[in-house]
Amino acid sequence: MSGNRRKTAYVVRPPTAVLTRGFDPRLSVGSARPAVFRSSTYVFSSPEAAERAFSLALGRSRPAADESVDLIYSRLSHPNAEILEDQIVPLEPSATAAAVFNSGMAAISTIFLANCQPGSSFVYTVPLYGGTQHFIHQVLEPLGLIGIAVPAGDTIALRTAIASARELRLVFIETPANPTLRMSDIADAARAASATATRPLVVVDNTFLGPTFQHPLTLGADVAVYSATKYLSGLSDMLGGVALGRDPDLIAQLRGLRAILGNILQPDECWMLDGRLPTVGLRMARQSKNAQRIAESLAGHRCVERLYYPTLFDEPEQRRIRDAQCRFPGGIFSFDVKGGKAAAFDFLRRVTIARNAVSLGGVESLTCHPATTTHSELSVEERQRAGIGDGLVRVSVGVEDWRDLLQDFREALDAL
Ligand SMILES: *Cc1c(COP(=O)(O)O)cnc(C)c1O
């Protein structure tokens, strides 16, 4: 035997990988945590290295396997983005690459603009996050793109829309849908997409249940996109967005457009988000357990007409999708208060621990009234179709002690 003993290639699991890859302390003067590199521009090691860096950045050549490439300018990329992009990949099973953006909307809009041309079409589930819906109606449709809406949870309608759309480039699925948590079948949509001639990209907005409880890429989706403003960062103190994909070339293409649009996540925010990644699974597990206990206890309250939460689904198709694609129900529930808007407002005023604010996924509990806030720009008819009534309240459960939250919600309901 020669001295050719190799260490066994050992692939660590995601919570370990996130703490051990992507960051070399030697490049941060030995610091155990990455330094923040706020530089806007980077010094080249030689004119040849500068030439090579531009050739790679502009797509004129491809990097060799172990090639170390000089950085150029921070709108293209910077050390903190590179560290974060490396560290976040293992959290999304089947992802090979990530691109970070300065908000969830920046990630979503860049994905659409990179993949859809005027005259082409895309299919999307409704209801959608308000910003995404706006982007479709106010930017994409006026540019001459054709958007085809399909109600969340209608598996056959989604399959049919994908099979019959012309020049289809992209399928955008938000599941579970906000605020009713209706789920759409990712695997079925991915199968339908791969059976069409144009092979549209399947993109899943995974903000509500990922990266801990739902893994779109393992179900056949091409891209998982996040508002990192929510669970990924988890403290309601920054904006961010991430796109993760199975195909590194697809992510490289997003980075190319990101360099032009100038919507890369800035170094300080990358550093903050990087520090939150190791705890996202812990936070989400606690938030999901809290939400499940509270939602299941409130479901029978005399002032609650209907409660929306994955463990309480009663439609067989919704249960089937839930069991096929989600590991845990997550930290968000909604409910219809008896007595409509007045009762819902009364409830929001009486709750003392959870604060009345939009957004979600933070360690603190938040409540909101979708019909008059996050979904107020939908027409009455669109709201009805989406199941967003005047008495609907959405709750994002934090990491407080669930018994305190339950008592607070119960007392507020008892007083109605
Ligand atoms: C918040 C959110 C977005 C938008 O993210 P920003 O970081 O606010 O730009 C997109 N999709 C979902 C599901 C969201 O909750």
| Domains of the chain from N-terminus onward | 14-279 (3.40.640.10), 280-414 (3.90.1150.10)
For range 68-83, the mean pLDDT: 94
The protein residue with its alpha carbon nearest to ligand 1, atom 4, reads 104
- Residue to mutate (ligand 1; options 100, 103, 105; most atoms within 8 A of CB): 105
Atom 11, ligand 1: residue with shortest CA distance: 129
Higher pLDDT, 2 or 59: 59
In this prediction, residue 351 has a pLDDT band, given cuts at 50, 70 and 90, of: very high
pTM: 0.96
Helices marked H in 116-231:
130-135, 155-164, 186-194
| 9: confidence class by pLDDT, cuts 50, 70, 90 | low
Instruction: Tell me which residue of 281, 395, 386, 289 sits closest to 332, measured CA to CA.
Output: 395
Mean pLDDT value across residues 278-291: 98
Q: How far, in Å, CA of 346 to CA of 358, rounded?
A: 17
Percent of the chain with pLDDT over 70: 98
Bridge partner residues of 202 (DSSP): 171
Name residue 275's amino acid. G
Position 65 scores a pLDDT of 84
Overall average pLDDT of the 101-114 stretch = 98
Query: Is residue 104 within 6 Å of ligand 1 at its C-beta?
Result: yes
The token pair at 177 is: 């849908």
The verdict on the CB of residue 125 being under 6 Å from ligand 1 is no
Averaged confidence pLDDT in the chain: 95
3-state secondary structure 227-269: ECCCCCCCCCCCCCEEEEECCHHHHHHHHHHHHHHCCECCHHH
Take atom 6 of ligand 1 and give the residue whose Cα is closest: 104
325 CA distance to ligand 1 middle (Å): 21
Q: Give 6 Cα–ligand 1 centroid separation in angstroms.
A: 45
Ligand 1, residue 207: give the atom nearest the CA. Answer: 13
- Does pLDDT of 107 surpass 70? yes
> For 177-198, what is the mean pLDDT?
96
CB of 227 shorter than 6 A to ligand 1? yes
